[in-house]
Amino acid sequence: MREQPGIAIVVGAALALLTAPAAARPAPPAAGELPLVPLPQSVTQGSGSFLVADGARVGTPPGDAGAAAAARLLAQHVRVARGIALAPVAGEAAIRFVRDATVTGDEAYRLDSDAHGIRISASGDRGLVHGAMTLAQLLSPDRAYGRPVAVPALAIADAPRFAWRGLMIDPARHFQPVAVLRDIVDQMAAVKLNTLHLHLSDDQGWRFEVKRYPKLTEVGAWRTPPSAGGPPGARVGGFYTQEELRGLVAYAAERGIVVVPEIDLPGHAQALVAAYPEHGVLGDRPAVGHDWGVNPYLLNPRPETVRFVEDILDELLAVFPGPYIHLGGDEAVKDQWERSPAVQAQMASLGLKTEMQMQSWLIDQLAAYLAKRNRRLIGWDEILEGELPQSAAVMSWRGETGAVEAAKRGHDVVLSPGPTLYLDNAQSDQADEPPGRLAIQTLADLYRYDPLPAGIDAAAAGHILGAQGNAFSEYLITARQVQHAIFPRAAALAEISWSAPGTRDFPGFVARLQPQIARWRRAGLEVADSAFAVTYTLEGKRGDVLRSGRMTVALATQAPLGTIRYTLDGSAPAANSRRYAAPLTLAPGATIRAAAFDAAGVALAAPRSFATDRQALLGAGNDALTACPTGSLALHVPLTADATADAPAYKIDLFDTCSVFPAAPIARARTIALDVARLPRPFGLAHEFTKLRAHYNVTPHGELVVTAGCPTKDAPRPAVLATFPLPDPASAPNRMRFEAALPPQTRDADLCLQFTSPLADPLYVVDHVQLTEPVQ
């Protein structure tokens, strides 16, 4: 159950970024300048400060293993973030950890500092860890490195708003070594997140070593990537040994984090069925899946298979001692059960009328098995669609409806609704965003979310455990891409689930966030700068700009922080570059480069560029194209489905490979050149396959058809400007260029770029379209 705040906030939330002082003894920050994320429940400022320099001792009660672990963690983070070494010792010191039974709650702590020293008090191990992480932030309040730090006199009384503050990592789709998970655990602890949910199985991979059933990893942990034409690539995959996972669990526990394992069933089971087809439904042996989405393979609900799963759970429970075991329950299309005489007979013998009741029966068997071992089942909100054991908890991902219903029925709930808390969504429309879903969820979107659903009554509200962000990895391939998706949004997730709701203040949050971003980067993490990067908006149409010789460009950032500075000659902007105050009106030809700078003159993000020459105005990259009017599922997918390093990524409409160059200046164009990429088609659509738009191909592998506007009811046959037959995917390279002269046009129009390749062939996408004017 969640812990109640009930502590008054004394220091305001709009905190300013500190800059390094020049004096040998740094001045302490003034009230309201503490660089803390998440914001504590109560801070009372005193007078004076305590200087912490290299070699400072950190005392812990002799024999107190939890306090010693917290002191080591403090020293580790301060060494990386500040560059000074602290010395943990058993016994008294000016900086000390103490046990205090009056600090109630395992995660609560007090931090008291004055001119004589610093004391962190807690009754529980996790409270000591959280206090250590608050002190680590106080000891690295600015970008100075290696210098002593003056910690102001203050009293912090802190405890979390919610007991579940989680992050889900998905190594089932793209395996990540355990070292990558440890890095994430370290930086979860830095902002007081306390639950790591590991999605350990799916259609595309089984990652947990089961010694009784070795084929689960011998077969189920490896897959052959999909082809975009030609032979497939080398097998990819991996798995965690039980010893590795025990080490991760212990590592996380020292940092106040519990690890929740997930074995997804009865759906998302293709890797399991590939390893042990006798536990599938129809007796066939599929390959381990390489298609993202919803696939048909289900676990067989027969008693022998239930015992098989119980054997797996026995080994899982021995590795993961936490109270919750996640058993999925999502997206289990029931077609295999519907077509199986054996499953239908089992349903009849059990008196079950629907396949959903069959799933509920299966979940009930496994929940009872876990309950006998003092563990609780948690699953995605589909498990609510049937009867559900009272002990089961629900993770609500399809909005908040499931959360409200589950809480009313007396089930504990974790809020994890998409798209807001789905971290694989893009953070901006910048061209350099990594692959993912294209429903943009900004840092501000996440920060605005409240894990307590509106309108829920007090009794049901007591069942809200907290919130969790999910980094599903269909498109997050590399460790850097996973980190980019998580950070800095992990800080917003931490604040909405830890801090009191009445203190929510986005401008103050993004100011306090800057030191934490610096800490994460010093730890070697990839941290997205999307919220602070400059975006450009060209006002008006390109054709009008080309005709008039004048253009207006507006610059902006998502976050209300810093001052935008820009150059017009393509050089890197600096803190003394021209200040942006209003949209720029200029003649085409300049290259604008801009970045936002803080009060200390430090750039908040890498500079972004915007070219305004005539060639740029006559062209559009993939990021500038939009979906055709019939589009319904937009993704940002990589060139290859299982690249081991960052690969180019492209916006596509999965249901119709068609895109639009809006208001293209075709009235001035005489030729067109299109750079095209061919991508794998690794998508499991289940019943949504009917949404795919097939186009009659008049050459063997289809065509790229370029029209002046897209077909509509009123204009079903727009003018065809060019048609390019597509080559045989089996032998042609997966990048190609098409060029043609354009028939003269009297007016500009949307340029519709439609591929008609058969649905059995790979996907195509326009990488870049370039128009040219006649030679003057």
Which residues are annotated as catalytic? 202, 268, 331
Neighbours of 349 (CB within 10 A): 8
Return d(Cα 202, Cα 267) in angstroms, integer. 8
β-pair partners for 342: none
Please state whether 331 falls in left (phi above 0), alpha (psi between -120 and 50) or beta. Answer: left
Amino acid at 50: F
Q: Are strands 195-199 and 201-202 parallel, antiparallel or unpaired?
A: unpaired
Which contiguous run of DSSP H or E holds residue 337?
A: helix 335-338
| Residues 149/154/160/165 CA torsion (nearest 10 deg) | -10
One-character DSSP codes across 109-175: EEEEEETTEEEEEESSHHHHHHHHHHHHHHT--SS--S--EEEEEEEEEE--S-SEEEEEE-TTTS-
Q: Counting Cβ atoms within 10 Å, is residue 464 exposed (0-12), middle (13-18) or buried (19+)?
A: buried
Contact (CB, 8 A) for 583 and 536: no
563-596 CB burial, b ≥16 within 10 A, e <16: ebbbbbeeeebeeebeebeeebeeebebebbbbb
DSSP code for 299: -
What is the rounded CA–CA span in Å between residue 5 and residue 291?
45
Q: Supply 548's token pair.
A: 């008039």
Within 10 angstroms of residue 335's Cβ, the number of other Cβ atoms is 13
* 532: its two tokens: 């602070």
d(CA 304, CA 336) in angstroms, rounded, equals 18
